Structure 1
């Protein structure tokens, strides 16, 4: 699979009368735009090609689904009124855009050196990130959005799957509801997990649909954690960070894991 072939496949599957396609050779990026609304979405082809090596047609199916849902939302009018239960926090990388394509700032909060908090209005199969235009138009204060989002987050299930590798334990939260990584903001959940951990507790959010808690009990655990995070980070639809965090006394400290030397250092 190469960019030329992938581009042709995506254009064929996403073709509609009201759509146009623009290819940026320098960025190796395909833009799909609704000609009626002027709204569109850019798809970087290299990451899709990388996923295709393992997932084959499933990788393309995922992109097509993502684009279709995103275009369906764009241009539509949304309201926060009577939608309180559908507002959630969303974790993204600090490299994620801070404003819409039209230059409207998203409503965000700082989180860590690697992550930032956005807020979303859940629309069922997809969601819309809340920007300052929507928040102000609806007359919602910043604190009201934060409180409602955190309250709704606490209502989401936190069931985890446990795995053991070389004497270390890893807990995976992967419900695919779009807010798995957001559970890193559920303080009660983190505190409850810390009471189960006997070694050093780490938290990883390599992409939006997974949260990994590590109970690191020996040096090999850091090697495993580094490899695991990189694998999830490379395969995620919305990558966040390949770094992990040490969780201690309610605080998150990003760490660099030197797999060769089996040592971990807090990021300065």
Structure 2
């Protein structure tokens, strides 16, 4: 299915009397917004078409689900007080917007050369990124949100699946709770994994629903990690980065993996 047919399918499934659906031919993007406020979500059709080749109807179902949930979150009342346990950090790429559509800056921190930390209020089936307007309205400080979010992410359960390939050990954290990549901020967990590794420890957050930790014990391990990361990045609902990171002395350092060589960025 090409982007033209995907566009028609999404238009049919997402249109409603209280919404406006428009198409940007130049960018090949579909915009779905509330007719009354103009607030909405933009989706890139070529990316969905690429996922359809592997996932078929599931790719479209996911887009419809998250657009519907995202639009609903925009009109839901945001309240931080009493919802402290629902505040979490989320990892995004550095190309992710720094502000909401109405020009209000999101609350975020720099993380690595490839990633940023944003902060979100979990609303059940979706979440709302916290911006400066929400902080002012709720009379919260940025420090309060960050401290609460980092505490909560350390409280999330950690269940890993282990796989050994060509003498290298790979650990996959993939609970699909929306915060798998966020667990890269759990310093205690990373420290424990570092103690387990026999070779070099590398990590990857190709999309928000997976964290890969690798115990690299030979050059082949770097190639395998690069292939895994790219595969997850291409299929992820919210892609982050196709690069991996070395974990040394508590610091994350992005690396390019080219063949059997690795290059620090």
- The answer for the alignment partner of 1:147 in structure 2 is 147
Q: Does 1:138 pair with 2:138?
A: yes
Alignment of 1:166-185 (within 5 A): 166-185=166-185
Tell me how far apart the structure 2 counterparts of residues 146 and 15 of structure 1 sit (CA, whole Å). 37
- The answer for the alignment partner of 1:193 in structure 2 is 193
TM-score, length basis structure 1: 0.97
Tell me how far apart the structure 2 counterparts of residues 163 and 7 of structure 1 sit (CA, whole Å). 39
- The answer for the alignment partner of 1:223 in structure 2 is 223
The question of whether the paired residues in 1 share the 8 Å contact of 2:3 and 2:48 is answered with no
Question: CA shift at 1:75, angstroms?
Answer: 2.8
The question of whether the paired residues in 1 share the 8 Å contact of 2:173 and 2:210 is answered with yes
Query: What do the CA deviations read for 1:61-87 (whole angstroms, capped 9, x no partner)?
Result: 000001010011113321111010000
- The answer for the alignment partner of 1:81 in structure 2 is 81
- The answer for the alignment partner of 1:70 in structure 2 is 70
Question: CA shift at 1:15, angstroms?
Answer: 2.1
| Aligned partner of residue 121 in structure 1, secondary structure | strand
Alignment of 1:1-268 (within 5 A): 1-259=1-259, 262-267=260-265
Tell me how far apart the structure 2 counterparts of residues 217 and 73 of structure 1 sit (CA, whole Å). 45
Tell me how far apart the structure 2 counterparts of residues 223 and 148 of structure 1 sit (CA, whole Å). 37
Tell me how far apart the structure 2 counterparts of residues 184 and 19 of structure 1 sit (CA, whole Å). 37
Residue segments in structure 2 that go unaligned for 5+ positions in a row: none
Tell me how far apart the structure 2 counterparts of residues 40 and 142 of structure 1 sit (CA, whole Å). 25
| Aligned partner of residue 124 in structure 1, secondary structure | coil
TM-score, length basis structure 2: 0.98
Question: CA shift at 1:21, angstroms?
Answer: 1.0
Tell me how far apart the structure 1 counterparts of residues 144 and 20 of structure 2 sit (CA, whole Å). 39
Question: CA shift at 1:37, angstroms?
Answer: 2.8
Tell me how far apart the structure 1 counterparts of residues 76 and 157 of structure 2 sit (CA, whole Å). 30
Tell me how far apart the structure 2 counterparts of residues 195 and 99 of structure 1 sit (CA, whole Å). 39
Residue segments in structure 1 that go unaligned for 5+ positions in a row: none
Tell me how far apart the structure 2 counterparts of residues 189 and 19 of structure 1 sit (CA, whole Å). 44
Number of aligned positions between the proteins: 265
The question of whether the paired residues in 2 share the 8 Å contact of 1:37 and 1:75 is answered with no
Question: CA shift at 1:20, angstroms?
Answer: 1.4
Tell me how far apart the structure 2 counterparts of residues 52 and 4 of structure 1 sit (CA, whole Å). 13
